[in-house]
């Protein structure tokens, strides 16, 4: 009996009712297979099966807990959709932190493994920057980590042209004005200095668009390289560019407690081992 039969047919007499099932477009979109329109195209191309039978027409309603759904013969994991995942990625330069890119550049979300649910970047690192970025499907934690009022610190290693003066360093520590608003004070440490280039460690508690590049340009120093080395208490720990690992339960607990107004969700991730991107 086709899956798109009316609710009065025998196909709906066993298991969940149609009200308890979900449209296949919504389910596969949430699982990160494709957009809803993309799923419709996959149906038209005959590339989706449910319990071994091809789906050739929509609407199609499925049971996420019981039905076996395959795309191009590969099982789509739809159970436990609500389990939260937390990846720490060392983003290389040239990789974007958006869900899609019209220019076809590599995306951070493509460097972590498919987990049957859509993950997204927590905040942004611009395409010319590298370093640590979190990817998760936990919307509450994302909001907590990115909202300025929580004051979650992010630390960067920044190479700039020239040598900063004592007065310029003092201005950064007091808070520089940008777009008519005074930024929160920055913690700054000079790691290496020379007449031509200096290496700085800068810690911010708010993350406005290209903030470090813009404030240093205002002080007359062009940023040559920018790498994020820590998000709150979470650090690189030898993670190579392009590699990722799952957060440990301890790191997640520390993240939720590191801001001015701690996040108190009790959900914990599984302990993760370091993996190479693409594995």
d(CA 235, CA 155): 9
96 phi and psi, to 5 degrees?
-100, 155
Q: Which residue has the tokens 């993950």?
A: 119
Q: Which two tokens stand for residue 47?
A: 């590339």
* 161 assigned to active site: no
Distances (CA, A) of 182 to 144, 177, 206, 233: 22, 4, 12, 26
How far apart CA 24 and CA 41 sit, in angstroms, is: 12
Catalytic residue among 67, 80, 126, 179: 126
CA atoms of 206 and 128, how far apart (whole Å) = 19
User: CA nearest 183: which of 160, 203, 163?
Assistant: 203
- d(Cα 9, Cα 29) in Å, to the nearest integer? 27
Helix intervals (H) in the chain: 24-30, 36-44, 139-146, 166-174, 211-218, 249-257
Q: Using H for helix, E for strand and C for coil, what is the string for 58-118?
A: CCCEECCCCCCEEECCEECCCCCCCCCCEEEEEECCCCECCCCCCCCCCEHHHHCCCCCCC
> Do 35 and 17 contact (CB within 8 A), yes or no?
no
Query: Which residues belong to the active site?
Result: 126
């Amino acid at each position: 009996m086709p899956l798109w039969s009316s609710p009065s047919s025998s196909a709906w007499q066993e298991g969940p009712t149609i009200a308890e099932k979900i449209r296949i477009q919504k389910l596969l979109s949430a699982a990160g297979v494709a957009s809803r329109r993309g799923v419709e195209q996959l149906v038209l191309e005959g590339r989706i099966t449910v319990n071994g039978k091809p789906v050739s027409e929509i609407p199609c309603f499925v049971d996420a807990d019981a039905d076996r759904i395959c795309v191009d013969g590969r099982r789509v994991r739809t159970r436990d959709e609500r389990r939260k995942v937390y990846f720490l990625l060392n983003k290389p330069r040239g990789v974007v932190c958006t869900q899609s890119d019209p220019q076809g550049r590599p995306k951070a979300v493509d460097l972590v493994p498919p987990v049957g649910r859509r993950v997204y970047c927590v905040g942004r690192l611009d395409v010319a920057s590298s370093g640590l970025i979190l990817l998760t499907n936990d919307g509450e934690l994302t909001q907590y980590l990115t909202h300025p009022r929580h004051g979650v610190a992010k630390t960067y290693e920044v190479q700039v042209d020239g040598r900063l003066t004592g007065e310029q360093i003092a201005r950064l520590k007091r808070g520089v004005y940008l777009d008519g608003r005074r930024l929160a004070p920055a913690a700054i440490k000079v790691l290496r200095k020379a007449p031509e280039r200096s290496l700085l460690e800068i810690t911010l508690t708010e993350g406005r668009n290209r903030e470090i590049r813009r404030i240093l340009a205002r002080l007359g120093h062009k940023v040559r390289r920018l790498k994020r080395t820590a998000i709150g208490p979470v650090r690189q720990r030898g993670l190579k560019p392009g590699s990722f690992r799952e957060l440990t339960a301890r790191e997640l607990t520390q993240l939720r407690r590191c801001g001015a107004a701690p996040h108190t969700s009790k959900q914990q991730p599984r302990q993760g081992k370091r993996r190479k991107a693409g594995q």
